[in-house]
Structure 1
Amino acid sequence: MAFLQANIYSNVLEMEVSVNVILPQKTEKKIGTTTKGNLTDVPVMYLLHGMGGNHSVWERRTSIERYVADLGLAVIMPSTDLGWYTDTSYDMNYWTFISEELPLICHELFPQLTTKREKTFAVGLSMGGYGALKLGLAKPENFAAVASLSGAVNLADRIEDLLAVKGRNFWEGIFGPLEQVQGSINDPMFLLNQLVNSGESAPNIFLCCGEEDLLLYGNKKMEAALTANKIEHTFETGPGNHDWVFWDEWIQRVLEWLPLEN
C-alpha cells in the first residue's frame, strides 16, 4: 500500500490543490500486514472531507489506510476548502473541479485507476456527505455507489440549520440567495427528482447518521424520498454524534458495503 501526497494545479480553480492518495501495492512484509495490489483497472473511491477538514483529515482522524489495505481499492482525498462541492456565487467552481476535472487529473497521473462506472465510488462525511450524494445524483453515469456519513443531505429544507452554523453572507457566497437553493442543482432533493424523471440508472446509496446528530432529521427525510422513488439504498443509524468517533466506526461499515470484488 502506497500513501502519496500530491500538489496538483487546477485549471478550473486556477490554483494549487492538495490531494492525498492511497494506492494498492503488492507487498510482503516480515512484520505487519501483507497487502495486495493490482496494476490495472483499480477500483477507486473519492473520499470527501467536511467543514473544517482538508485532504489530510481522513488519514489523521481515522485508520483509513489500514482499513483499505487488503481491499485493492484506491482512495482519492482532495482538499476542497469550504466550497461545499458547489460552483460558488463568488466564482470558485468547486463542483466543476470535483465532478469533472479531478477525475481527469487522477486518471492522467495514475493510469492504473479504473474508468468503469461499476468500480467507481464517492464517499464523504457531513459537507462531504452532501458532496458524495450530489455526485451520485447529478452524475449517476460515473458512480456505481455513493455513501454519506452524517451528511447535510436535505439542506434546502433546513436553512435554519445552516444559519445556526454560519451567517447568511457565508452561505449566500456559496449558494447565492438561500431562498433559491430549493429546486436548484445544489438541492439533493431536486437532483433526486431530476434523476428519477430522466430514467437513468441511479447508483446504490448508503446513508448513515448518529442518533444524537442534529442532521438525523434531514437524513430521515432523504431516506423517505429514496424509498418513495424506489431507489436502491441502505439507511442505518446508531449511537453517536457529529464526530470522528462515529465516522471512524462507520467508514468501516461503508467499506464492507461497497460492491468490491475481492
Structure 2
Amino acid sequence: MKVLTETWRSASIGREKSVNVLLPSRYSPTGRAFPVLYLLHGFGGNRNTWLQCAELSTLVDSAGLVVVLPESGRSWFINDARGRRYEDYLVGEVVGRVDDAFNTVASRDGRGIGGFSMGGAAALYQALRHGEVFSVVCSSAGAFEAPLREGDPYEHLRDGQRLAMPTTRDHERVWGPVGSEVRREYDPYRAVRDRDAKYPIEVHLDVGLDDHPRMIGMNRRMREALAAGSVPHRYRERPGGHDWEFVDAGLPDLFAFARSRLLSA
C-alpha cells in the first residue's frame, strides 16, 4: 500500500485542506480503473486516524480498492450550524479531485463510503442524500441519532475524564439547538424515508456488544428503519466497545462487503 496526500485550497471551507489517498500495491494509473472507498473518522479525528488500524494496509492491497481519508475534525462532515460546509467539501470537491487525479471508477457504482462513530453516521447521511455519488455504505458503531440528541446523554460517563463524545456545547455548535433547521435536514430516519429510490444503496452496519447502550439502541433502530424502508442491509452485533480495537477487528468484514458490491471497470 502506498499513502499519498492531496492538498488544495477548498472553496467550501475557505482554507487549505488535505486528504490521504491509499493506493493498493497493484494500482496503475492506466488500464483497469479502481473502485474507491471513502472512510470517515470519528469525533475529533483527522485524515491520519484510520492509519492506526493494523489491518488496513493488508486489506487495501488484498481488496484492490483506492481508499480516501478526508477529515472534518468535530464537524460531522455536514453543512453545520456555524456555516462550515463539510458536506459541500466532501461531495462537491473531494470526490471530483480524487477522480481527476487517480485511475478510479468515476461513477456511483464504483464508490463506497464508510466510517466509525461520527464517521459511520456521516457516511450513511451522505449516501442517503447523495445516492448519485455513493452506492455502498459501511458503518462501524454509527452515531446516527446525533441530530436528535438533547442535552448530554454521556455526562454520567465523564467524571473528569476526557471522553470522545461531544459535550452539549460542542454538539450544539455543529447541530444548533434542538429543533434547528440543521437537525431537521439531517434527521436520519427522515433521510431513509425520503431517499431517492432511483439510486439504490446497500448498507453494512455493525456495533459492539460492549458499546454504550445508547449507541447499541440507535444502531438497532437504524436497522429497523432500513428494513422498513426496504433498503438492503447487513447488520451485525459482535464483541467490542466503542473504540478502534473494535473497528480494526471488523475491517476484514467491512472491506469484503465493500469489495463485493463495488464495480470494477
Q: Which is worse superposed, 152-161 or 98-107?
A: 152-161
Identify the residue that residue 206 of structure 2 maps to in structure 1. Answer: 208
Aligned mate of 2:56, from 60, 64, 75: 64
Q: Which amino acid in structure 2 is aligned with residue 94 of structure 1? A: Y
Equivalents in 2 of 1:44, 1:53: separation in Å? 21
Q: Which blocks of at least 5 consecutive residues in structure 2 are unaligned?
A: 156-164
Deviating 4+ runs (over 4 angstroms): 160-163
Identify the residue that residue 229 of structure 1 maps to in structure 2. Answer: 229
Identify the residue that residue 84 of structure 1 maps to in structure 2. Answer: 76
Identify the residue that residue 199 of structure 1 maps to in structure 2. Answer: 197
Identify the residue that residue 16 of structure 1 maps to in structure 2. Answer: 16
User: Is 1:13–1:94's contact at 8 Å kept on the other side of the alignment?
Assistant: yes
2:123 is the counterpart of 1:136: no
TM-score w.r.t. structure 1 length?
0.88
Equivalents in 2 of 1:162, 1:129: separation in Å? 19
| Alignment: residue pair count | 250
User: Is 1:157–1:182's contact at 8 Å kept on the other side of the alignment?
Assistant: no
User: Is 2:77–2:86's contact at 8 Å kept on the other side of the alignment?
Assistant: yes
Identify the residue that residue 242 of structure 1 maps to in structure 2. Answer: 242
Q: Which amino acid in structure 2 is aligned with residue 250 of structure 1? A: G
Identify the residue that residue 6 of structure 1 maps to in structure 2. Answer: 6
Deviation per CA, 1:183-239: give whole Å up to 9, x if none. Answer: 7222111111111xx432331011100011121100000101111121100000101
Deviation per CA, 1:130-158: give whole Å up to 9, x if none. Answer: 11101111111211211110010123344
Aligned mate of 1:147, from 138, 141, 144: 138
Q: Percent identity?
A: 28
Deviation per CA, 1:155-180: give whole Å up to 9, x if none. Answer: 33443456644333322221122233
Aligned CA RMSD, in angstroms, stands at: 2.1
Q: Which is worse superposed, 57-66 or 173-182?
A: 173-182
> Residue 75 of structure 1: CA displacement?
0.3
User: Is 1:154–1:219's contact at 8 Å kept on the other side of the alignment?
Assistant: no
> Residue 84 of structure 1: CA displacement?
0.7
Q: Which blocks of at least 5 consecutive residues in structure 1 are unaligned?
A: 27-35
Deviation per CA, 1:85-144: give whole Å up to 9, x if none. Answer: 11122121111111221111222222x111121111001000000111011111112112
Equivalents in 1 of 2:115, 2:211: separation in Å? 16
Q: Which amino acid in structure 1 is aligned with residue 204 of structure 2? A: F
User: Is 1:126–1:152's contact at 8 Å kept on the other side of the alignment?
Assistant: yes
Q: Which is worse superposed, 166-175 or 229-238?
A: 166-175
> Residue 182 of structure 1: CA displacement?
8.5
More RCO (CA 8 Å, sep 6+): 2
User: Is 1:155–1:162's contact at 8 Å kept on the other side of the alignment?
Assistant: no
Equivalents in 2 of 1:46, 1:86: separation in Å? 15
Residues 163, 244 of structure 1: alpha-carbon distance in 2 compared, 3 angstrom cutoff: closer
Q: Which is worse superposed, 179-188 or 120-129?
A: 179-188
User: Is 1:22–1:74's contact at 8 Å kept on the other side of the alignment?
Assistant: yes
TM-score w.r.t. structure 2 length?
0.87
Equivalents in 2 of 1:97, 1:188: separation in Å? 20
Q: Which amino acid in structure 2 is aligned with residue 47 of structure 1? A: L
Identify the residue that residue 189 of structure 1 maps to in structure 2. Answer: 189
